Amino acid sequence: MAWKHWALSLLLSTRALSQSTTPSSPLPINDTTLLWGPYRPNLYFGLRPRLPRSLSTALLWSRVEDFQAVQHNVRYTCEQHEGMAGYGWDVYDPRTGGVQTVRDKGNGVDMETSFVKLEGGKEGWVARVKGTPREDAVLGAGSEGGVEGVKTAVWFTVGMEGLGSVEAVGGEEGEAAEAGFDGEVVFTGQTTDLGGFKLVVRESGSNSHPTHNHPSAVEKPLDRTFVHSLQVPEEALWQAKAILFGSLKTTIDSYVTEYTEAKMPPPWQTYTIQHRPGQGNMHIVQKTFTGAFQFDVVYTPASVATPFSGDVTRAIVRTMKTFDMKYDTVLKPQAPFGGEAYARFSKNLFSNLVGGIGYFHGDQLIDRSADPAYEEESEGFWQETAEARAMNRAQLEGPYELFTSIPTAVLPKRVLVGRGVPSPAYR
């Protein structure tokens, strides 16, 4: 059936990456469109390739209107206790990209993250991060002018595992201002599998940035972009939130020393990272906004002579229209479920199934003792099993690669999805 063929084609091939043949083509030719994706499904938005020990990115954000908000409102991993009004992919095709919406009631902002592969991924990809203040936003102590006064700090991290390298080389024309980058921020790097690449973070649209009269604004104006480059243990790269807090604490301590606790800058100035761009395996990019905002991240392989400079909005709209046309052709809900609400619901459900696919790499701990206690046949099997495990006979094996779906969203009631109940999308 047509729908089975398309659904199967959307599900990324699980063949081993050992089929890689050359650095410029790390995956079999029919899988090149599937190299990059939001393969960090435990994060609200995290991109990486299907390659071990490679480049990865993540998005974090928080409102910064008072000194208490940041401690509890920095978003990073998908959590059910953060007061979200909902989050998930509105449309998503693993071969072309899609659009996700995070309705962050706690931070008073709706985050829209878009991901588009350029020429099937051959020319890289572009991601857009867009924030819109919510009408029901509860204003913080530092907000003025209604919900448009909501102040949001956004952090975009760039991490590198293994022997590859990535470096913040500056802004436009190699600018490396001490007070932050005025304009786009450029990273260059290379890995054995990806080859050389460039990553550019640039603002798009009309953005506003917080202002104030504290002396710290002169040294570190908030209309600039700050970059903190660090070298951290590879096993700690996934702890971007903790690394971010460490950078923020250093800034806070320096302000306390310079101005004393009684004369601190406002919170949106206090909660800024150190601006120390350069080499490292972890780079944090910070932008701080007032009201609605938007910025883009463009990844370009070194093999592409001309980096993407087109209309990102048009590329996103084209991706969404292509998804809708294909979906309506092969997976359109049938009567009596033919209304627009059913179509929107089914597209959202399908997009989150395939958008929840993640790539994982590493060792696993396996107990191959085949202890009879693990058969759980006696009445006190849990005690025997605990005793068997206490003998610590498990050993590390690997490394292995795992490519699987990891749902992170809360599914609507009465929707049955489980490992033992395959959905049509996986057949």
Domain ranges of the chain: 2-327
Mean pLDDT of the chain: 87
- The reported pLDDT for the residue numbered 178 is 79
Predicted confidence at residue 27, as pLDDT, reads 59
Whether residue 62 has pLDDT greater than 50:
yes
Helix, strand counts (H, E) of the chain = 8, 17
pLDDT score, position 423? 47
| Residue 155 DSSP one-character state | E
Residues 6+ apart with CB under 8 A from 18: none
Instruction: Report the pLDDT averaged over residues 101-109.
Output: 96
Average pLDDT over residues 67-90: 92
8 A C-beta contact, residue 15 and residue 26? no
Instruction: Strands of 4-54 (E only): list them.
Output: 36-37, 48-49
Q: For the chain, give percent helix, strand, coil, nearest 5.
A: 30, 30, 40
CA torsion sign, 210 to 211 to 212 to 218? positive
DSSP 8-state assignment for residue 95: T
Mean pLDDT lowest among 154-163, 260-269, 347-356, 410-419: 410-419
- pLDDT > 50? residue 13: no
Q: Is 167 helix (H, G, I), strand (E, B) or coil?
A: strand
The pLDDT of residue 28 is 60
Radius of gyration of the chain (CA): 23
pLDDT tens string 129-146: 999 999 998 877 666 767
Cβ-based burial of 204 (10 A; exposed 0-12, middle 13-18, buried ≥19): middle
Q: Which pLDDT does position 83 carry in this prediction?
A: 84
The most distant pair of C-alpha atoms in the chain lies apart, rounded to whole Å, by 73
Q: For 269-273, what is the mean pLDDT?
A: 98
Tell me if 161 sits within 8 A of 173, measured CB to CB.
no
pLDDT above 90 covers what percent of the chain? Answer: 70
Q: How far apart are CA 46 and CA 77, in angstroms?
A: 9
pLDDT at 8: 45
Q: How far apart are CA 266 and CA 244, in angstroms?
A: 19
Name the nearest CA neighbour of 196 among 59, 28, 55, 33: 55
Write out the H or E segment, with its range, that includes residue 279.
Answer: strand 279-280
**157 - beta bridge partners?**
58, 284
Burial class (CB in 10 A: 0-12, 13-18, 19+), 109: buried
Q: What is the pLDDT of residue 415?
A: 46
Residue 63, H or E segment: strand 55-63
Compute how many other C-beta atoms are within 10 angstroms of the C-beta atom of residue 271: 25
Residues 6+ apart with CB under 8 A from 20: 26, 27, 193
Structure confidence at residue 309 (pLDDT): 84
Three-state SS for 225? strand
Q: Indicate the Cα dihedral angle 311, 317, 319, 325, nearest 10°.
A: -150
> What percent of the chain is predicted at pLDDT more than 70?
85
Check pLDDT > 80 for residue 21.
Answer: no
Cβ count near 316 (within 10 Å) = 20
Q: Which two tokens stand for residue 413?
A: 């009631």
For residue 71, which amino acid is it? Answer: Q
Higher pLDDT, 211 or 11: 211
Kindly state the tokens that stand for 119.
């020429």
Architecture of domain 2-327 in this structure: Distorted Sandwich (2.70)
Predicted model pTM: 0.87
Q: Tens of pLDDT along 343-398?
A: 999 999 999 999 999 999 999 999 999 999 989 888 889 999 999 999 999 999 99
**What is the three-class DSSP state of 43?**
strand
Give the residue-averaged pLDDT of 324-342: 91
In this prediction, residue 299 has a pLDDT band, given cuts at 50, 70 and 90, of: very high
Residue 177: what pLDDT?
66
Dihedral of the alpha carbons of 27, 45, 294, 232, in degrees to the nearest 10: -90
As a whole number of angstroms, the distance between CA 216 and CA 297 comes to: 28
Q: How confident is the model at residue 20 (pLDDT cuts 50, 70, 90)?
A: very low
Does an H or E element contain 168, and which? Answer: strand 165-170
Measured from the Cβ of residue 355, the count of other Cβ atoms closer than 10 Å reads 26
Does the pLDDT value for residue 4 go beyond 50? no
